[in-house]
Chains A and B, each alone.
Chain A
Amino acid sequence: GAVVSQHPSWVICKSGTSVKIECRSLDFQATTMFWYRQFPKQSLMLMATSNEGSKATYEQGVEKDKFLINHASLTLSTLTVTSAHPEDSSFYICSASRGRAYTDTQYFGPGTRLTVL
């Protein structure tokens, strides 16, 4: 149990276009979902936390108008990179947690490789 999927696994887009990435918890309901960004050979940087039915909480320095997050149901969260630019190219990883407790485990998706030309 505790499987998280992401779609697409990789995407290439032109500069100025928008890209949507989906994160789904397949066998559990996720009260909270998280979006991370990972640069090559670096650790994960939390971008935002989303709770089902409420607005996402963004980390300092992350532009909320550029990285739109929607957590419409207990099994689906989406990240839309608007007006993408080459510097947005990165590996985006989502995670999901059953609850909001500090002891709850985050289960991670396989990641989405975004390349902006």
Chain B
Amino acid sequence: AQSVAQPEDQVNVAEGNPLTVKCTYSVSGNPYLFWYVQYPNRGLQFLLKYITGDNLVKGSYGFEAEFNKSQTSFHLKKPSALVSDSALYFCAVRAILTGGGNKLTFGTGTQLKVEL
């Protein structure tokens, strides 16, 4: 079975400071990792994904994530946070050897709050 852990329910950061939203995963094969953002009463917006290749993945709105195989982590980062980044962030994983086909497994989400 595959699983995703987002250890922080909420992350608070001041605008202009760097932000990190943590994600660790557990899969039995090669992981395919995704980050999505959700604004209140809205669906999820795709930010970025890691499939293979460079461990540092750049995505939308200045976000990036670093794949670390030894630590089984895929933390989301941004060098300078904006108030408008405040939202709920989901990490998700899909592994090629699971029996679930194309099923994404989501973490529980991390609420990011960026304050002035």
Contact = CB atoms under 8 A, between A and B. Distances in A.
A49 interface: yes
Nearest to A44: B106
Contacts of A6: 43
Contacts of A44: 44, 90, 106
A93 interface: yes
Interface string A12-36: 0000000000000000000010100
A97 interface: yes
Contacts of B108: 42-43
Contacts of A97: 102
Interface string B40-55: 0111111001010000
A108 B41 contact: no
A4 B32 contact: no
Given A95-B44, A102-B102, A107-B46, 12 more contacts: A46-B104, A49-B101, A49-B103, A91-B41, A95-B43, A101-B102, A102-B32, A102-B95, A103-B32, A106-B104, A108-B36, A110-B43
